[in-house]
Amino acid sequence: MSWKAPVIARSIATADDLTPAPIDPSWIIEGAPQARSRPLSLATDGTIGASLWDCTAGRFEWRYGGDELIHILEGEAELTSPSGAVTIVRRGDIVHFPSGQRVRWHIPAYVKKVAIQSDRVSLPRRLAQRVPLARRVVHMIRAARARSWALVAGGFEVASELALLAL
């Protein structure tokens, strides 16, 4: 078994080591949020990445291309999920965003986070994200699977009730 040394990425930022990372203008809902970031080197094979990111006040919708795990370092943000549920995240909170999710961010003043991204996405999920028909097919397969399991479970219940009646 091979052993690899841990990779350490320093996340302490100074005012001049974060570079502008503009938010897609079509994602901005309100205000003029100014985002900055700095990559944090982790895996050399490109399977996982990380960055230090901060942003000023504003509202925008973020579209996640891969899974992302964030840890809030400073400030706070109000996150609105596609279902309409609102969650306020503050310093110390950790949040996971699955690939393909869209979340509305409202940053009242300022937020800084460490973001860890994984671009590894399963083939069905990649297809569902890119092709609307594939998304529907994946949902139909999952629903059919759930129905078949419910029928199987129901069949066992009926069989066991008939067996008890036969006694």
Six-digit token string for 146:
């759930």
Is residue 29 predicted with pLDDT exceeding 70? Answer: yes
pLDDT of residue 41: 67
CATH architecture label of 19-118 = Sandwich (2.60)
Res. 165 pLDDT band, cuts 50 70 90: very low
d(CA 47, CA 141): 28
pLDDT at position 166 is: 45
Structure confidence at residue 108 (pLDDT): 98
For every residue of 109-130, DSSP letters joined together read: EEEEEEEEEE----HHHHHHHH
Could you read off the pLDDT of 122-159 as tens digits, one per residue? 566 556 656 666 667 777 787 777 776 665 555 544 44
pTM score, whole prediction = 0.65
Task: Give me the pLDDT at residue 142, please.
Answer: 76
pLDDT above 90: residue 90: yes
Cβ–Cβ under 8 Å, residues 38 and 17: yes
Between 10 and 100, the higher pLDDT residue: 100
Collect all residues with Cβ–Cβ distance below 8 Å to 28 and sequence separation of at least 6. 58, 59, 60
Say which residues have a Cβ less than 8 Å from residue 43's Cβ, sequence separation at least 6: 7, 49
Residue 91, C-beta contacts closer than 8 angstroms, at least 6 positions apart = 72, 73, 74, 75, 76
Q: Tens of pLDDT along 45-83?
A: 666 788 899 999 999 999 988 889 999 999 999 999 999
